[in-house]
Amino acid sequence: MPLSNPNVAVSVEVSVAEVMRGIFEIEGLLSFEDEMVTFEYQATGLRMKRSGIQIFQLPLDAIQDVKVKGRAFWTRLVVHPKRLASIEDMPGQSRNRIVFRVKSGYRKRALALASQIHGSQSQKPVKGPDSIPFELPEIDLGLREVTGGVYFDGEFLVFEVQTGFAGGSDKDLQVIKVEPAALAAIRLEHGSFKDQLYIQPKKRDLLVAMPGKHREALMLKIPTRYRQAVEELVEAVTLQGLLGHDA
């Protein structure tokens, strides 16, 4: 029976990179069953015995996408969440995603697990907008970096913002919401490798709430592969802002 059969539970031996700058090593089993991704893991570190078994779970509805990447001698399974808050308790989270290092010999199982998740997603109705990942300029002379996700829920433009030391895994998460009618301008500026989402509020509240220093507008750096999604977001926010202004 093929491993990609949705009725067959697939377990993949994995580890997690970038945990407390390499002080801890996280290893365990990753599986998908009953519309839930489960990571059962143990932690070890310098002068530290292996911890008890801990569990992190991510519901299918919280997953935006799953990809398997690799070359001849390494494989990574990357989970992109719809909301950063859903992976806040996951150890070793990297920016806007979770990166699992797949143990040697488990590449086919990783591909099967990703196939199961994609198959289950195709059978369920889409719930809520996907979050679009972004970066902001580094702060504190490059010692801290700001990343996050932005989406429009039909009422608010929502920013999930992570701030942490560059190269570290621990991030502080905050959620910032702004009404479209409070924006003076929002537009997408195209770039070669990364686009820029320009957001100018009518008042400085948003600029003050966002980490870093911002003069007149926020300038979110976004990979070009999200260009269509950003254009749709800009159109929806602009339309809602006009409707709110007319009201």
- Domain covering 11-122, topology: PH-domain like (2.30.29)
Q: Are 157 and 178 in contact (CB under 8 A)?
A: yes
Q: What per-residue confidence (pLDDT) applies to 130?
A: 84
Query: 241 to each of 149, 179, 186, 209, how far by Cα in Å?
Result: 20, 8, 10, 21
| Residue ranges covered by each domain of the chain | 11-122, 132-246
H helix intervals, the chain: 107-122, 205-209, 227-246
Q: Are 98 and 76 in contact (CB under 8 A)?
A: no
Tens of each residue's pLDDT in the chain, 247 residues: 345 555 556 789 888 865 555 567 789 999 999 899 999 998 877 666 777 899 999 999 999 999 999 888 899 999 999 998 898 888 775 667 898 999 999 999 999 999 999 999 888 776 677 899 999 877 776 677 888 999 999 999 999 998 877 655 556 789 999 999 999 999 999 999 899 999 999 999 999 999 888 999 999 999 999 999 999 999 999 999 886 655 4
Q: What per-residue confidence (pLDDT) applies to 1?
A: 38
pTM for the full model?
0.76
d(CA 205, CA 180): 14
Tokens of 220: 């979110």
- In the CATH scheme, what is the code of domain 132-246? 2.30.29.30
d(CA 211, CA 181): 22
Q: Are 88 and 173 in contact (CB under 8 A)?
A: yes
Helix (H, G, I), strand (E, B) or coil at 92: coil
Same fold, 11-122 and 132-246: yes
Cβ burial 43-62 (10 Å sphere, 16+ → b, else e): beeeeeeeeeeeebebebeb
Cβ burial 128-148 (10 Å sphere, 16+ → b, else e): ebbbbbbbbeeeeeeebbbbb
Beta sheet of 144-152, edge-to-edge order: 172-178, 157-165, 144-152, 132-139, 218-223, 194-201, 183-189
Tokens of 108: 């086919």
DSSP line for 228-247: HHHHHHHHHHHHHHHHHHH-
Q: What per-residue confidence (pLDDT) applies to 139?
A: 75
Q: What per-residue confidence (pLDDT) applies to 206?
A: 95
Cβ burial 212-246 (10 Å sphere, 16+ → b, else e): bebeebbbbbbeeebeeebeebbeebeebbeeeee
CB neighbour list of residue 192: distance below 8 Å, 6 or more residues apart: 224
